[in-house]
Structure 1
């Protein structure tokens, strides 16, 4: 967005921090200008493009109807490479440290590696379940959990996110209520606290 601000605000633009209030006000007052820029920069891929950015014609919908008529799979936008400089196949997509290895070097996964792993899990899910099925994930936030989450969404399933700190009874309730057909979990959790 920084490249667009001088064009939008002219001489009044200073820098992202100093101009934040002006930038926020502009985003609220001019959503039809602001959001297309954001959607292009991210870049969000629509299967069906929206009719407009914000439809405020129905006054019963407080806040309006955003991106009416659009269809997208946000996981697809997450794993697609693009012409955007920071979203090439060799761009870093995920940075993490292995559990219990806070003193070790960080790990990196490229966009291409992320896409390959997501596609592998998504393909496996598509061969075992029907689109729209609920698939639960009961894991801490790890690179593997990100891959699984994106794969569930990409393949067209419903994600049932379960906090990894829940007790067995609470997990069972969420699985029953969601009618989850499968659960991803982690066999071992590293806890270095005594």
Structure 2
């Protein structure tokens, strides 16, 4: 039998550590679900197994959550084009924390000129697609002075912990 090299031994230890990590994490996850179903509030749990050489994921302070099923429902009802889905996806990267306003990096609301630049399409196309998406209930538009602010439906993508009822009331599915 061939003697294992130090590199092979190290890789085997790491594979074992990863397997152990997964099994322990699964057990803890199931137990957490069980406790939460009993009404016990369980804080987030992190598991680390020595020997697992993977770099732990450290998320940004804020990140977006996308809800695929709701977008599929809107797609089925309204027949969204691939371009419209692309616009929704791109603009979802620009929503603000807990209010889903489409903004620039500096936090100022995006105006049509900004939308042209971000989406890489002309003003008439921005007008056409945004009007269509507002009509389909994907975005809500709010006129502020001479500009229009756009809000993304939080049931499609959201950044935050709790969806404000006022924000949610701005959206509804139009079935005709």
Higher-helix-fraction structure: 2
Higher-strand-fraction structure: 1
Greater relative CO (CA pairs within 8 A, separation 6+): 2
Fold similarity call, TM over 0.5: no
TM (normalized to structure 1)? 0.28
Which protein has the larger Cα radius of gyration, Structure 1 or Structure 2?
Answer: 2
